[in-house]
Amino acid sequence: MLINLTKFVDSSKSVLKFSDEINRIDDPILEDYGIIFPVKVSGEIYKVDGEFQLYLNGDFTYTSQCDRCLIETKKDMSFKSTGKLKKDSGNANDSEESDEVIYYNDDELDLREYIWNQIVSSLPMKNLCSDECKGLCPKCGADLNKEKCQCDTSNVDLRFEKLRELSLND
Ligand SMILES: [Zn+2]
Ligand SMILES: [Zn+2]
């Protein structure tokens, strides 16, 4: 996604609004994450004391497999972020800058990498169909959200109980 800043830089306007739908980002990582395109983004760029401040909102849907019961789930995600825009001056010794700085070239702002980062960092580490998911039976594989199986899993608990006694006696 490219935004041309030339007109905005020279105008008396103090805010530039934009919205776009990103139909694809060629990246196998995002395919692995099950991102469903388009990703919707909108935002504003404000002129503040001769600098540019970006506010970005994004919405997308992704599919993932529940870590416990392995069912496919579709989830809606959104992200919000802010950052400062700086013209890329070519010298890389702006080391005091935080990573919230987004550089642009020749008055053109390329947000693709930035949006990619926002998408990836908004994805949860854990994928659960619901926080109460009971998962699968470790013995027969039954989906315990849907059925109760007859497996005796008490020996699993017994083992833990023995371990606990051992560590208590130490
Ligand atoms: Zn689940
Ligand atoms: Zn079972």
pLDDT by residue for the chain (170 residues), tens only, comes to 889 888 888 888 999 999 999 887 777 777 778 888 899 999 999 998 878 999 999 999 999 899 999 999 899 999 999 999 988 876 655 555 555 788 888 778 999 889 988 998 998 888 899 999 999 999 999 999 999 999 987 765 555 555 666 666 55
Rounded Cα distance between 43 and 81, Å, is 9
Measured in Å, residue 65 CA sits from the centre of ligand 2 at: 21
Measured in Å, residue 167 CA sits from the centre of ligand 2 at: 29
Measured in Å, residue 151 CA sits from the centre of ligand 1 at: 19
Q: Looking at the CA of 139, name the nearest ligand.
A: 2
Rounded Cα distance between 170 and 166, Å, is 6
Q: Looking at the CA of 153, name the nearest ligand.
A: 2
* CA 111 centroid distance within chain: 15
Nearest-Å Rg of the Cα atoms of the chain is: 24
| Contacting residues for 18 by C-beta, under 8 A, at least 6 apart | 3, 42, 43, 44, 45
124: tokens are 């949860």
- Rounded to two decimals, the pTM is 0.72
